[in-house]
Amino acid sequence: MVTGKVISVNGPIVKASGLARIKMFDIAEVGPHRLIGEVIRLAGGVTVIQVYEDNTGLKPGDEVVSSCRPLSVLLGPGLIANIYDGIQRPLVGISEVCGSYIEKGIKLPALDMEKRWAFSPLVTAGAALRGGCVLGEIRESPLVVHRVLLPPGVSGTLTGIAAAGEYTIDEEIYTLDTATGTYTGKLAGYWPVRSPRPFRLKKKPFIPLMTGQRVIDTFFPIARGGTAAIPGGFGTGKTMTQHALAKWCNADIIVYIGCGERGNEMTDVLTEFPNLIDERNGRPLIERTVMIANTSNMPVPAREVSIYTGVTIAEFYRDMGYSVAVMADSTSRWAEALRELSSRLGDMPAEEGFPPYLATRLAEFYERAGLVETLSGHDGDITIIGAVSPPGGDFSEPVTQHTSRFVRCFWALDKILADARHYPSISWTDSYTEYLHDIEAWWRTLDSQWLSLRNEVMNILLDDHRLQQLVKLVGTDALPQTQQFVLFAAEMIKNAFLQQNSFDPIDKYCSPEKQLKLLKTFLTLYRKGSQLVHAGVSLKEIKALDVMSELVRLKSEVPNQDTARIDEYGKRLATELDSLKELLTGV
């Protein structure tokens, strides 16, 4: 323990002297309220600390105390279904103590110290162990089996382990004879948030993260262990899209980070998730979710550290062999916190006032995603999906541009689509993905032609985009029938496939099998319809067919479990289109 004195205060930036032996990123407690802060600069005998709480009233001469331990999170059973602020203080516990507002200096343990967990050992005394080995299991929630791991960097011979029974996270569970002496372990331990947890090997992602959103899964898919960005201006549906992904994606664990967003948006998450049922297992979604809430009215410095808190928790579950999805909403607010802190430190500003190390920090964050072989030999993965909020929807601003360099999936939100109430408002012309060939083998198990089907429909949409430029100049009626049919087919695809209603009990989630069958139905319309138009059948006759009115309703009338109805419709569609050809030829 070292002590010092405050010598200056500049907003959340505090300078102190007298803190011998303190290191970068160590925790310091500042002032009479012992406000939590982190060392971010050392210059001679002066220590620069960013304080993560409201430091109104702090003055020179106040005491600063540090235990010389880096900013860390407590990892153990009890994280699931919990809600934390940016520095892992439990918000539910704080609200019970001090009501709606967080009091200065309040400190509560991140995990329940009194709760007893049913522990089942999986190893016996005498076993030679190394960091990452699984020692036992705990049923953390009905959906999550918590695997108790030997911390990375620790190895030796197990000399003792607790028998099956109930224990608190503060009780000693096992002892290890190591090269440096006896090591005693508990059910929970600390890990520095700015240090990525180690693994054996990083692998190439090959399994898609199925989200149930057709525009994503079919046209711009992401692999489990991949990275994606959702940029969009105000009101385009970034948070709505991330909510949908968090609700329905096939990850085992969800870590949702509300970084600088409005309080009402986080309230929606906090109130919805306990009541939402996971369709895959019939259990509440909250039973596989951890939430980090650092809203716009909370201190700015804690916003900067919140994404590290979230991704460290994600790595903890990845090391157990789980697939984890991290939703960061939004990295723009995080970058703005970096800008404010760097300006108070007097750093040289770069583009639009952001610090010159913005790109490095973004790269470090997204690099913590990936499919890995863990130290225990299991595969685990972290998928990071970050929302970006460019001012005025300008994608050329620094945060969006730097983010696009480090992610392989870019879901650009379109203000025009959002204003037209087309959700998800993901632009099919501005978005892209680099995971198509990585996950093609998985899709081929469902249909060997998946990629060619996807590309053919995508080309229809791109042809439509080009033709829309002509429509603005000359109008639709001036185009030949063949081009008018392309516009019609594309409009059907937009309305009956790309547009999705997250409040519809059937349409809110679309299975891969249903997506494929819908895709084939649209291609049946396009291929046969194109032949008819070239043969002289008018577009008006095609639109007048009885089956056309049913096409838009398939997505919301056919459940995922009854996709045979789509096959039946496809046959009727083909029959009626063929009947037009027979009328034309007289055959």
Q: What is the pLDDT of residues 163-208, one digit of tens each?
A: 999 999 999 999 999 988 999 999 999 999 999 999 999 999 999 9
Q: In 78-123, which residue ranges form alpha helices assigned H by DSSP?
A: 91-98
Task: Report how far residue 213's alpha carbon sits from residue 158's, in angstroms, rounded to the nearest whole number.
Answer: 48
Identify the DSSP state of 372: E
In degrees and rounded to multiples of 5, residue 146 shows phi and psi of -85, 120
Nearest to 289 by CA among 254, 247, 340: 254
DSSP lists the bridge partners of residue 383 as 325
Q: How many CB atoms lie within 10 A of CB 179?
A: 6
Nearest to 308 by CA among 255, 356, 262, 238: 255
Looking at residue 252, its amino acid is: D
The helix-helix angle for 331-345 and 358-366 (nearest 10°) equals: 140
Task: Report how far residue 314's alpha carbon sits from residue 325's, in angstroms, rounded to the nearest whole number.
Answer: 8
DSSP lists the bridge partners of residue 74 as 190
In degrees and rounded to multiples of 5, residue 95 shows phi and psi of -65, -30
Task: State the sign of the Cα–Cα–Cα–Cα dihedral 99, 102, 106, 112.
Answer: positive
The helix-helix angle for 358-366 and 398-406 (nearest 10°) equals: 40
Domains and CATH numbers, the chain: 2-70 (2.40.30.20), 201-435 (3.40.50.300), 450-585 (1.10.1140.10)
Nearest to 298 by CA among 122, 94, 455, 17: 94
Quick one: tokens of 537?
A: 């059948």
DSSP lists the bridge partners of residue 178 as 181
Task: List the chain residues with pLDDT less than 50.
Answer: 587
Nearest to 319 by CA among 205, 224, 226, 196: 196
* Pair 409, 220: CB distance under 8 Å: yes
The predicted pLDDT at position 239 comes to 85
Task: Report how far residue 507's alpha carbon sits from residue 216's, in angstroms, rounded to the nearest whole number.
Answer: 14
The predicted pLDDT at position 584 comes to 66
Task: Report how far residue 301's alpha carbon sits from residue 291's, in angstroms, rounded to the nearest whole number.
Answer: 18
Nearest to 328 by CA among 223, 222, 245: 245
Q: How many CB atoms lie within 10 A of CB 454?
A: 21
Task: Report how far residue 99's alpha carbon sits from residue 397's, in angstroms, rounded to the nearest whole number.
Answer: 39
Identify the DSSP state of 562: G
* Pair 435, 411: CB distance under 8 Å: no
- Find tokens 């639109």 and name the residue: 543
Task: Report how far residue 353's alpha carbon sits from residue 129's, in angstroms, rounded to the nearest whole number.
Answer: 50
Quick one: tokens of 196?
A: 């990525």
The predicted pLDDT at position 585 comes to 64
* Pair 401, 352: CB distance under 8 Å: no
Buried residues in 75-113 as b, exposed as e (16+ CB within 10 A): bbbbbbbbbbbbbbbbbebbeeeeeeebebeeeebbbbe
Q: In 176-253, which residue ranges form alpha helices assigned H by DSSP?
A: 214, 238-248
Task: Report how far residue 154's alpha carbon sits from residue 132's, in angstroms, rounded to the nearest whole number.
Answer: 8
Task: Report how far residue 172's alpha carbon sits from residue 509's, in angstroms, rounded to the nearest whole number.
Answer: 45
How do 134-141 and 117-121 pair as beta strands?
antiparallel
The predicted pLDDT at position 344 comes to 87
- Find tokens 């103590």 and name the residue: 97
In degrees and rounded to multiples of 5, residue 125 shows phi and psi of -60, 140
Quick one: tokens of 373?
A: 């072989």
Task: Report how far residue 82's alpha carbon sits from residue 291's, in angstroms, rounded to the nearest whole number.
Answer: 6
Rama region for 582: left / alpha / beta (φ>0; ψ in -120 to 50; rest): alpha
Looking at residue 151, its amino acid is: P
Nearest to 435 by CA among 457, 414, 452, 451: 451
CA angle (72, 77, 78) in 5-degree steps: 90
Quick one: tokens of 317?
A: 């579950």
Quick one: tokens of 524?
A: 């049946």
Task: Report how far residue 368's alpha carbon sits from residue 429's, in angstroms, rounded to the nearest whole number.
Answer: 29
The predicted pLDDT at position 263 comes to 67
Q: How many CB atoms lie within 10 A of CB 422?
A: 18
Q: How far is CA 238 from CA 9, 248, 330, 420, 474, in A?
A: 36, 16, 9, 16, 35
